[in-house]
Structure 1
Amino acid sequence: MAIDLSIYKILPHREPMIMIDQFTRDSDTMGTAVKQFSGDDYGCENGMVLQGILIECVAQTIAAHHGQTNLDKADSGPAMGMLVTIDHFEFFRPVPQDAEVTIKVEKTDEIGSFHLVKGAVFHENELVASGQIKIFNA
Protein backbone atom coordinates (compact mmCIF):
# COMPACT_ATOMS: atom_id res chain seq x y z
CA MET A 1 0.00 0.00 0.00
CA ALA A 2 1.39 3.37 -0.97
CA ILE A 3 0.94 6.49 1.11
CA ASP A 4 -2.27 8.31 0.25
CA LEU A 5 -0.87 11.69 -0.83
CA SER A 6 -3.70 13.51 0.96
CA ILE A 7 -1.98 12.47 4.21
CA TYR A 8 0.53 15.30 3.59
CA LYS A 9 -2.31 17.82 3.99
CA ILE A 10 -3.17 16.64 7.51
CA LEU A 11 0.07 15.27 8.97
CA PRO A 12 3.21 17.33 9.66
CA HIS A 13 5.51 14.27 9.37
CA ARG A 14 7.51 13.49 6.23
CA GLU A 15 9.46 10.51 4.90
CA PRO A 16 10.94 8.41 6.38
CA MET A 17 8.99 9.14 9.58
CA ILE A 18 5.44 8.79 8.27
CA MET A 19 3.93 5.87 10.17
CA ILE A 20 0.45 5.88 8.60
CA ASP A 21 -0.51 5.45 4.95
CA GLN A 22 -4.23 6.24 5.09
CA PHE A 23 -6.50 8.00 7.56
CA THR A 24 -10.26 8.19 8.13
CA ARG A 25 -11.87 10.59 10.61
CA ASP A 26 -14.65 8.46 12.13
CA SER A 27 -16.13 11.12 14.44
CA ASP A 28 -15.19 14.24 16.40
CA THR A 29 -13.18 12.08 18.80
CA MET A 30 -12.26 8.94 16.85
CA GLY A 31 -10.12 8.04 13.85
CA THR A 32 -8.69 5.03 12.03
CA ALA A 33 -5.43 4.70 10.12
CA VAL A 34 -3.72 1.95 8.14
CA LYS A 35 0.01 1.31 7.77
CA GLN A 36 1.58 -1.27 5.47
CA PHE A 37 5.07 -1.98 6.75
CA SER A 38 7.89 -3.32 4.61
CA GLY A 39 11.29 -4.61 5.64
CA ASP A 40 13.08 -1.43 4.63
CA ASP A 41 10.78 0.88 6.63
CA TYR A 42 12.13 2.91 9.52
CA GLY A 43 11.27 0.97 12.66
CA CYS A 44 11.58 -2.52 11.20
CA GLU A 45 14.42 -4.59 12.59
CA ASN A 46 15.27 -8.29 12.55
CA GLY A 47 12.08 -9.10 10.64
CA MET A 48 9.76 -7.33 13.10
CA VAL A 49 8.17 -3.91 13.67
CA LEU A 50 9.64 -2.33 16.80
CA GLN A 51 7.17 -1.79 19.66
CA GLY A 52 7.98 1.92 19.90
CA ILE A 53 6.93 2.36 16.28
CA LEU A 54 3.46 1.03 17.13
CA ILE A 55 3.17 3.80 19.75
CA GLU A 56 4.27 6.31 17.10
CA CYS A 57 1.53 4.94 14.80
CA VAL A 58 -1.02 5.83 17.51
CA ALA A 59 0.51 9.31 17.97
CA GLN A 60 0.47 9.99 14.22
CA THR A 61 -3.11 8.76 13.90
CA ILE A 62 -4.33 11.28 16.47
CA ALA A 63 -2.14 13.94 14.80
CA ALA A 64 -3.89 13.13 11.50
CA HIS A 65 -7.27 13.40 13.27
CA HIS A 66 -6.31 16.86 14.52
CA GLY A 67 -5.04 17.87 11.07
CA GLN A 68 -8.20 16.59 9.34
CA THR A 69 -10.35 18.48 11.85
CA ASN A 70 -8.41 21.68 11.06
CA LEU A 71 -8.71 21.06 7.32
CA ASP A 72 -12.46 20.45 7.61
CA LYS A 73 -12.82 23.78 9.41
CA ALA A 74 -10.80 25.49 6.63
CA ASP A 75 -8.00 26.12 9.13
CA SER A 76 -4.37 25.51 8.32
CA GLY A 77 -4.31 21.70 8.29
CA PRO A 78 -1.50 19.98 10.15
CA ALA A 79 -0.38 21.45 13.44
CA MET A 80 2.84 20.86 15.26
CA GLY A 81 2.56 18.75 18.37
CA MET A 82 4.41 16.28 20.51
CA LEU A 83 3.93 13.06 22.38
CA VAL A 84 4.10 13.97 26.08
CA THR A 85 3.51 10.70 27.96
CA ILE A 86 2.91 7.02 27.32
CA ASP A 87 0.69 5.30 29.86
CA HIS A 88 -0.27 1.65 30.27
CA PHE A 89 0.84 0.58 26.81
CA GLU A 90 0.78 -3.18 26.40
CA PHE A 91 2.09 -5.35 23.58
CA PHE A 92 0.32 -8.66 23.06
CA ARG A 93 2.24 -10.15 20.15
CA PRO A 94 4.97 -9.10 17.72
CA VAL A 95 4.16 -7.63 14.32
CA PRO A 96 6.12 -8.98 11.32
CA GLN A 97 7.94 -6.44 9.17
CA ASP A 98 5.73 -6.98 6.11
CA ALA A 99 2.46 -6.61 8.00
CA GLU A 100 -0.45 -4.26 7.51
CA VAL A 101 -1.77 -2.79 10.75
CA THR A 102 -4.92 -0.86 11.55
CA ILE A 103 -4.69 1.84 14.20
CA LYS A 104 -7.75 3.09 16.08
CA VAL A 105 -7.66 6.15 18.33
CA GLU A 106 -10.14 7.91 20.58
CA LYS A 107 -9.59 11.29 22.19
CA THR A 108 -11.02 10.76 25.68
CA ASP A 109 -10.24 14.07 27.39
CA GLU A 110 -8.62 17.42 26.77
CA ILE A 111 -7.39 20.30 28.85
CA GLY A 112 -6.42 23.21 26.64
CA SER A 113 -3.87 21.95 24.13
CA PHE A 114 -3.31 18.65 25.99
CA HIS A 115 -5.25 15.60 24.79
CA LEU A 116 -5.59 12.17 26.39
CA VAL A 117 -5.86 9.47 23.75
CA LYS A 118 -6.65 5.76 23.85
CA GLY A 119 -5.08 3.81 21.03
CA ALA A 120 -5.19 0.26 19.74
CA VAL A 121 -3.21 -1.45 16.99
CA PHE A 122 -4.55 -4.49 15.13
CA HIS A 123 -2.91 -6.99 12.77
CA GLU A 124 -5.15 -9.47 10.95
CA ASN A 125 -8.06 -8.28 13.14
CA GLU A 126 -6.17 -9.26 16.30
CA LEU A 127 -5.24 -6.70 18.96
CA VAL A 128 -1.43 -6.48 19.07
CA ALA A 129 -0.93 -3.34 21.20
CA SER A 130 -3.01 -0.84 23.17
CA GLY A 131 -2.62 1.94 25.67
CA GLN A 132 -2.96 5.62 26.39
CA ILE A 133 -0.86 8.58 25.33
CA LYS A 134 -1.00 12.25 26.16
CA ILE A 135 -0.21 14.70 23.38
CA PHE A 136 0.27 18.43 23.12
CA ASN A 137 -0.95 20.25 20.01
CA ALA A 138 0.41 23.71 19.31
Structure 2
Amino acid sequence: MKREIVAQGAEIYALIPQRPPIVMVDKFYGITGNSSYSGLTVTPDNIFCQNGKLQETGIVEFVAQSAAARIGYINSQKKELVLLGFIGSVDKMKIYYLPPIDAELFAEITVIQEVADITLIEACVKVTDCVVATCRMKIFLKKDGKETK
Protein backbone atom coordinates (compact mmCIF):
# COMPACT_ATOMS: atom_id res chain seq x y z
CA MET A 1 0.00 0.00 0.00
CA LYS A 2 1.43 3.37 -1.05
CA ARG A 3 1.08 6.13 1.54
CA GLU A 4 1.82 9.82 1.35
CA ILE A 5 4.68 11.01 3.56
CA VAL A 6 3.56 13.62 6.12
CA ALA A 7 7.05 14.23 7.58
CA GLN A 8 10.52 13.00 6.68
CA GLY A 9 14.19 13.73 7.30
CA ALA A 10 14.74 16.64 9.69
CA GLU A 11 10.96 17.24 9.89
CA ILE A 12 10.81 14.11 12.08
CA TYR A 13 12.59 16.06 14.85
CA ALA A 14 9.39 18.06 15.37
CA LEU A 15 7.57 14.80 16.22
CA ILE A 16 10.01 12.89 18.43
CA PRO A 17 12.34 13.87 21.29
CA GLN A 18 15.24 11.67 20.07
CA ARG A 19 18.19 13.13 18.21
CA PRO A 20 21.03 11.55 16.20
CA PRO A 21 22.48 9.04 16.47
CA ILE A 22 19.41 7.49 18.15
CA VAL A 23 16.74 8.57 15.59
CA MET A 24 14.97 5.43 14.38
CA VAL A 25 12.15 6.95 12.30
CA ASP A 26 12.83 8.81 9.06
CA LYS A 27 9.31 8.92 7.61
CA PHE A 28 5.88 9.50 9.12
CA TYR A 29 2.82 8.69 7.02
CA GLY A 30 0.11 9.99 9.33
CA ILE A 31 -2.81 8.62 11.32
CA THR A 32 -5.98 6.82 10.29
CA GLY A 33 -8.42 6.02 13.09
CA ASN A 34 -6.50 4.29 15.91
CA SER A 35 -3.47 3.53 13.73
CA SER A 36 -0.40 5.50 12.71
CA TYR A 37 2.24 4.65 10.14
CA SER A 38 5.97 5.32 10.02
CA GLY A 39 9.08 4.18 8.19
CA LEU A 40 12.81 3.74 8.47
CA THR A 41 15.48 3.01 5.90
CA VAL A 42 18.14 0.84 7.55
CA THR A 43 21.51 2.50 6.90
CA PRO A 44 25.03 1.13 7.42
CA ASP A 45 25.76 3.80 10.06
CA ASN A 46 22.72 2.87 12.19
CA ILE A 47 23.99 2.25 15.73
CA PHE A 48 21.67 -0.76 16.05
CA CYS A 49 23.15 -2.53 12.98
CA GLN A 50 25.60 -5.35 13.39
CA ASN A 51 26.93 -7.69 10.70
CA GLY A 52 24.83 -5.93 8.06
CA LYS A 53 21.50 -6.38 9.86
CA LEU A 54 19.29 -4.32 12.15
CA GLN A 55 19.37 -6.01 15.55
CA GLU A 56 16.45 -6.78 17.88
CA THR A 57 17.10 -3.65 19.99
CA GLY A 58 16.83 -1.52 16.85
CA ILE A 59 13.47 -3.07 15.98
CA VAL A 60 12.17 -2.37 19.50
CA GLU A 61 13.44 1.22 19.34
CA PHE A 62 11.84 1.67 15.90
CA VAL A 63 8.49 0.60 17.36
CA ALA A 64 8.87 2.93 20.36
CA GLN A 65 9.84 5.92 18.21
CA SER A 66 7.02 5.14 15.78
CA ALA A 67 4.62 5.39 18.72
CA ALA A 68 6.36 8.61 19.79
CA ALA A 69 5.93 10.05 16.29
CA ARG A 70 2.20 9.36 16.58
CA ILE A 71 1.77 11.37 19.79
CA GLY A 72 4.21 13.99 18.51
CA TYR A 73 2.11 14.43 15.38
CA ILE A 74 -1.08 14.71 17.45
CA ASN A 75 0.57 17.29 19.73
CA SER A 76 1.95 19.26 16.77
CA GLN A 77 -1.57 19.50 15.33
CA LYS A 78 -2.68 20.97 18.68
CA LYS A 79 0.38 23.29 18.74
CA GLU A 80 1.68 21.52 21.87
CA LEU A 81 5.22 20.39 22.65
CA VAL A 82 6.60 16.90 22.08
CA LEU A 83 6.42 14.80 25.25
CA LEU A 84 9.08 12.45 26.51
CA GLY A 85 7.97 8.84 26.59
CA PHE A 86 9.40 5.72 28.17
CA ILE A 87 8.91 2.07 27.34
CA GLY A 88 7.02 0.51 30.25
CA SER A 89 6.92 -3.03 28.89
CA VAL A 90 7.21 -5.05 25.71
CA ASP A 91 4.94 -8.08 25.47
CA LYS A 92 4.28 -10.82 22.93
CA MET A 93 7.35 -9.78 20.91
CA LYS A 94 7.93 -11.95 17.86
CA ILE A 95 10.86 -11.21 15.57
CA TYR A 96 10.70 -13.21 12.37
CA TYR A 97 13.96 -11.98 10.84
CA LEU A 98 16.53 -9.19 11.12
CA PRO A 99 16.23 -6.74 8.23
CA PRO A 100 19.38 -6.03 6.21
CA ILE A 101 20.97 -2.68 5.43
CA ASP A 102 18.92 -0.73 2.84
CA ALA A 103 15.67 -2.41 3.94
CA GLU A 104 12.67 -0.06 4.07
CA LEU A 105 10.84 -0.75 7.35
CA PHE A 106 7.17 0.17 7.70
CA ALA A 107 5.41 0.20 11.06
CA GLU A 108 1.71 0.18 11.78
CA ILE A 109 1.07 1.26 15.36
CA THR A 110 -2.44 0.64 16.67
CA VAL A 111 -3.61 2.10 19.96
CA ILE A 112 -5.31 -0.59 22.03
CA GLN A 113 -5.94 1.50 25.14
CA GLU A 114 -5.05 4.90 26.62
CA VAL A 115 -5.40 5.48 30.36
CA ALA A 116 -3.99 8.65 31.92
CA ASP A 117 -0.31 8.82 30.90
CA ILE A 118 -0.11 5.17 29.74
CA THR A 119 -0.73 4.02 26.18
CA LEU A 120 -0.91 0.36 25.16
CA ILE A 121 -0.07 -0.14 21.50
CA GLU A 122 0.16 -3.07 19.14
CA ALA A 123 2.83 -2.92 16.45
CA CYS A 124 3.45 -4.68 13.17
CA VAL A 125 6.75 -4.02 11.40
CA LYS A 126 7.11 -5.05 7.77
CA VAL A 127 9.50 -4.86 4.87
CA THR A 128 7.30 -4.77 1.77
CA ASP A 129 4.69 -7.46 2.57
CA CYS A 130 6.97 -9.54 4.80
CA VAL A 131 6.36 -9.26 8.56
CA VAL A 132 9.59 -8.50 10.42
CA ALA A 133 8.16 -8.27 13.95
CA THR A 134 5.00 -7.89 16.02
CA CYS A 135 4.54 -6.87 19.64
CA ARG A 136 2.57 -4.97 22.23
CA MET A 137 4.18 -2.13 24.11
CA LYS A 138 3.17 0.03 27.07
CA ILE A 139 4.43 3.57 26.83
CA PHE A 140 4.45 6.09 29.69
CA LEU A 141 4.35 9.78 28.81
CA LYS A 142 6.13 12.24 31.05
CA LYS A 143 3.76 15.20 31.47
CA ASP A 144 5.56 17.20 34.14
CA GLY A 145 6.78 20.06 31.98
CA LYS A 146 9.91 18.33 30.66
CA GLU A 147 8.82 18.45 27.02
CA THR A 148 11.10 19.18 24.10
CA LYS A 149 10.68 21.78 21.38
TM range (shorter): over 0.9
The aligned runs of 1:55-74 (5 Å cut-off) are: 55-74=60-79
Aligned structure 1 segments of 4 or more residues deviating by more than 2 angstroms:
none
Task: Give the 5 Å matches for 1:1-138.
Answer: 3-76=8-81, 78-138=82-142
SS at match of 2:25: coil
Q: Is the 8 A contact 1:45 1:97 kept in 2?
A: no
In 2: Cα distance, 1:67 partner to 1:93 partner: 29
Identity of aligned residues (%): 26
Give the Cα–Cα distance (whole angstroms) in 2 for the partners of residues 129 and 81 of structure 1. Answer: 21
Residue by residue over 1:8-59, the C-alpha shift from the partner in whole angstroms, topping out at 9 and shown as x without a partner, is 1111000000001011222352111110011221100011110121111111
Name stretches of at least 5 consecutive residues in structure 2 with no aligned partner: 1-7, 143-149
- SS at the partner of 1:5? helix
Structure 2 length normalisation: TM-score?
Answer: 0.86
Deviation at 1:72, TM superposition (A): 0.4
Q: Matches of 2:96 and 2:15 in 1, distance apart?
A: 30
- State whether residues 32 and 103 of structure 1, in contact with CA within 8 Å, keep that contact through their aligned partners in structure 2: yes
2 CA distance for matches of 1:88 and 1:74? 35
RMSD over aligned CA atoms reads: 1.2
* One-letter amino acid of the structure 1 residue matched with residue 31 of structure 2: D
Aligned residues between the structures: 135
Contact 1:23 1:64 in 2 (8 A): yes
TM-score normalised by structure 1 residue count: 0.93
Structure 2: distance between partners of 1:118 and 1:135: 11
